[in-house]
Amino acid sequence: MLGWGTISRYGYHAIQAARFYSGQLTVSMLAFSIPVMMIGATIYIIASSLKYGKLFKSRLALILVVTFLGIIILEGDRGPIVKIGIPILLVRHFFVKAIKARYLMIIFAAALILFAGLAVVRTTVFQPGKMFQEYKYKKSAGEIGWYAPFVEMGGSFMIVNIVTQDVPGEEPYWMGASWRDAAIHIIPFMQGFAARRGYTKWSPSLWITNTYFGYGAAGRAFTVAAEGYLNFGFPGAFTEVMLVGMFIRWLMIYFSRSPSAARALIFLGCVGVAVMVTRNHFNLLFAACFQIFVVAWLLNMLLGNEPQPDDEEMAEHSVCIADS
pLDDT at 143 (0 to 100): 58
pTM of the full structure: 0.72
Query: Residue 141: helix, strand or coil by DSSP?
Result: coil
Count Cβ atoms below 10 Å from residue 13 Cβ, excluding itself.
20
- 69, 84 Cβ separation under 8 angstroms: yes
**From CA 74, how far away is CA 68, in angstroms rounded?**
10
Instruction: Parse the chain into domains and list their residue ranges.
Output: 155-324
In the chain, the amino acid numbered 80 is P
Instruction: Spell out the residues 6+ positions from residue 184 whose beta carbon is closer than 8 angstroms to its own.
Output: 190, 191, 194, 200
Backbone angles phi and psi of 63, in degrees to 5: -65, -40
Q: E strands, the chain, where?
A: none
pLDDT at 7 (0 to 100): 65
Question: What string of DSSP letters covers 193-254?
Answer: HHHHTTSSPPPHHHHHIIIII-TT--S----HHHHHHHHHSHHHHHHHHHHHHHHHHHHHHH
Residue 164: HSE in the Cβ half-sphere, 13 Å Cα cutoff: 14
Taking Cα atoms as reference points, which of 240, 304, 299 lies closest to residue 266?
A: 299
What is the full per-residue pLDDT of the chain (324 aa) written as tens digits? 667 677 666 666 666 677 777 777 777 777 778 888 888 999 999 889 888 888 899 999 999 999 988 877 776 677 788 888 888 888 888 888 888 888 888 988 888 777 777 766 655 555 555 555 666 666 666 655 555 555 555 556 778 888 888 899 888 999 998 898 888 888 877 777 777 777 777 788 888 877 877 655 555 678 888 899 999 999 999 999 999 999 999 998 998 888 888 888 999 889 888 888 888 888 888 988 998 999 999 988 888 776 665 555 544 544 444 444
Cα dihedral value 130, 133, 134, 136, nearest 10: 160
- 41, 105 Cβ separation under 8 angstroms: no
Count Cβ atoms below 10 Å from residue 17 Cβ, excluding itself.
14
- 249, 270 Cβ separation under 8 angstroms: no
- 222, 241 Cβ separation under 8 angstroms: no
pLDDT at 78 (0 to 100): 74
**From CA 124, how far away is CA 113, in angstroms rounded?**
17
Angle among Cα 74, 76, 80 to the nearest 5 degrees reads: 100
Residue 47: HSE in the Cβ half-sphere, 13 Å Cα cutoff: 13
- Is the dihedral angle over the CA atoms 79, 73, 2, 13 positive or is it negative? positive
Count Cβ atoms below 10 Å from residue 310 Cβ, excluding itself.
9
pLDDT at 317 (0 to 100): 45
pLDDT at 229 (0 to 100): 93
- Is the dihedral angle over the CA atoms 29, 287, 245, 168 positive or is it negative? positive
